[in-house]
């Protein structure tokens, strides 16, 4: 693989073959951190690349660090905006300008700019306008952010209503975009790469549990401490399980929290949530252990080491973490928000207690931890759900849509 430094403080990696006669696609992301949107971007890009499609990932981040994990997909990392002393609005607008400038420099290389978020969509539209090219702009709306300032609200609206084609990853968000934005979107669900995480030896699993002091059950939360992840609800449910353990004289469960790096600033929520712990009879660093952003290999280790995924989200675009966990044999306790009920069945492939109800979450977690038959059923059915969501299938559907946009016949068979 060769590396070169193009203009604009970027690092670029080029490799692989390009499909003959296929639409040349740039998958554009505002970040290189391992959050749902960028994980989706890279998974889709790799499936397209392996199928011989001409695809290139363009993202904002640290050019020296590159993407969050190694890949053979051609990619360019443009330097992102500084966070120091800036508001969310300032960061968003700066990111759009930086990404638009980088895309404009190379726009002649692509037939489709496929944006994966609000910032990327606005940047793609701006680059097209600035260059006067006929490149198509497509947007995948994973979810709609809860922006509050008029500038960001308008920015998000235009990022949904102005692209030539809009995709979503669930029926729930197809309905939301139709009802709230008047946009007809196409559903293409997420996928999971079952070969992405290597098997984890028993000794490594034990070492990870020891690292967080898990003498009893180990609960895993992925995504950091954020409002839409239902973190305070998880803490309250954990307190109930801890009280059970204290009464029984058994080791308390530990909640390990992976992730937390976000373009938005959730520090006030995080600080408020952690401040709740003493009142709940919990201790930070002992009952709740933050692990921060981890490598992809280490994430696979945590999926293998944990006893259950605690994922009581209040809002999700799809919930990629759930099928990642199920692909690794980890039972899932999520919530009954509509997006989860589209592909998960309560009591069969996952437990889906009422969203926002700590007592219901505690009961569901308790059931998984104490009922071996239930755990086995959830594990087997979860594997089947994960196996039904593959990146090759998603890539084949995307290839059809790119062809519709550019009037080029798709070259990827559906069974690839």
Q: What is the CATH number of the domain that holds 338?
A: 3.40.50.2000
Residue 411 belongs to some domain of the structure: no
**271 and 162 fall within a common domain:** no
Q: Does residue 161 register a pLDDT over 50?
A: yes
Section 51-70 average pLDDT: 94
Structure-token match 């290139």, residue found:
56
Residue 115 belongs to some domain of the structure: yes
**227 and 372 fall within a common domain:** yes
Structure-token match 């003493």, residue found:
278
Q: How much is the pLDDT for 12? A: 57
Alpha carbon distance 254, 305 (integer Å) = 12
Section 274-286 average pLDDT: 97
Q: Does residue 259 register a pLDDT over 90?
A: no
**79 and 145 fall within a common domain:** yes
Share of the chain above pLDDT 90, in %: 79
Residue 94 belongs to some domain of the structure: yes
**23 and 169 fall within a common domain:** yes
What is the total count of domains within the chain?
Answer: 2
Contacts of 144 (CB under 8 A, 6+ apart): 156, 160, 173, 176, 177, 180
Share of the chain above pLDDT 70, in %: 91
**249 and 270 fall within a common domain:** yes
Q: Give the residue with greater pLDDT, 81 vs 264.
A: 81
**277 and 315 fall within a common domain:** yes
**293 and 229 fall within a common domain:** yes
**107 and 169 fall within a common domain:** yes
**316 and 284 fall within a common domain:** yes
Residue 142 belongs to some domain of the structure: yes
Section 210-218 average pLDDT: 97
Section 195-222 average pLDDT: 94
**318 and 295 fall within a common domain:** yes
Contacts of 32 (CB under 8 A, 6+ apart): 38, 59, 60, 61, 62, 65, 66, 67, 68, 77
**287 and 397 fall within a common domain:** no
Residue 349 belongs to some domain of the structure: yes
Alpha carbon distance 97, 196 (integer Å) = 33
Give 290's DSSP letter.
E
Residue 197 belongs to some domain of the structure: no
Question: 43 lies in which domain range?
Answer: 2-191+390-406
Residue 366 belongs to some domain of the structure: yes
**374 and 395 fall within a common domain:** no
CB 288 within 8 Å of CB 255: yes
Determine whether 157 is exposed, middle or buried from the number of CB atoms within 10 Å of its CB (0-12, 13-18, 19+): middle
Longest dimension (CA), the chain: 70
Alpha carbon distance 353, 345 (integer Å) = 11
Q: How much is the pLDDT for 84? A: 79
Residue 302 belongs to some domain of the structure: yes
User: What is the reported pTM?
Assistant: 0.86
């Amino acid at each position: 693989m060769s590396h070169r430094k193009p203009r604009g403080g970027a690092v670029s990696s080029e490799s692989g073959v390009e499909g003959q006669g296929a639409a040349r696609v740039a998958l554009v992301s505002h970040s290189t951190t391992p959050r749902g949107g960028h994980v989706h971007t890279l998974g889709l890009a790799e499936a397209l690349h392996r199928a011989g499609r001409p695809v290139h990932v363009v993202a904002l981040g640290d050019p020296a660090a590159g993407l969050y994990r190694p890949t053979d997909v051609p990619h360019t990392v443009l330097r992102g905006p500084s966070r120091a002393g800036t508001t969310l609005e300032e960061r968003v607008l700066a990111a759009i300008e930086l990404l638009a400038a980088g895309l404009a420099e190379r726009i002649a290389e692509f037939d489709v700019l496929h944006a994966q978020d609000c910032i990327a969509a606005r940047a793609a539209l701006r680059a097209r306008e600035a260059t006067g090219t006929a490149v198509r702009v497509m947007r995948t709306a994973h979810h709609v952010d809860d922006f509050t300032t008029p500038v960001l609200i308008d920015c998000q609206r235009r990022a949904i209503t102005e692209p030539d084609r809009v995709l979503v990853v669930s029926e729930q968000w197809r309905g939301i975009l139709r009802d709230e934005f008047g946009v007809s979107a196409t559903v293409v669900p997420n996928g999971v790469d079952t070969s992405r995480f290597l098997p984890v030896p028993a000794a490594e699993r034990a070492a990870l549990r020891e690292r967080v002091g898990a003498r009893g059950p180990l609960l895993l939360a992925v995504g950091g401490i954020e409002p839409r992840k239902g973190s305070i609800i998880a803490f309250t449910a954990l307190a109930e399980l801890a009280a059970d353990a204290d009464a029984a004289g058994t080791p308390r469960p530990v909640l390990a929290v992976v992730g937390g790096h976000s373009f938005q600033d959730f520090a006030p929520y995080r600080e408020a949530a952690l401040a709740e712990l003493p009142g709940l009879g919990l201790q930070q660093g002992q009952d709740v252990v933050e692990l921060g952003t981890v490598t992809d290999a280490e994430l696979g280790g945590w999926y293998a080491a944990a006893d259950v995924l605690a994922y009581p989200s209040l809002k999700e675009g799809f919930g990629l973490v759930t099928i990642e966990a199920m692909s690794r044999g980890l039972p899932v306790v999520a919530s009954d928000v509509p997006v989860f009920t589209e592909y998960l069945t309560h009591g069969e492939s996952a437990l889906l207690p009422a969203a926002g109800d700590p007592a219901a979450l505690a009961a569901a977690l308790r059931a998984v931890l104490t009922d071996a038959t239930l755990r086995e059923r959830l594990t087997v059915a979860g594997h089947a759900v994960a196996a039904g969501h593959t990146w090759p299938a998603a890539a084949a559907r995307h290839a059809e849509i790119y062809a519709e946009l550019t009037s080029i016949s798709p070259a990827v068979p559906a069974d690839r």
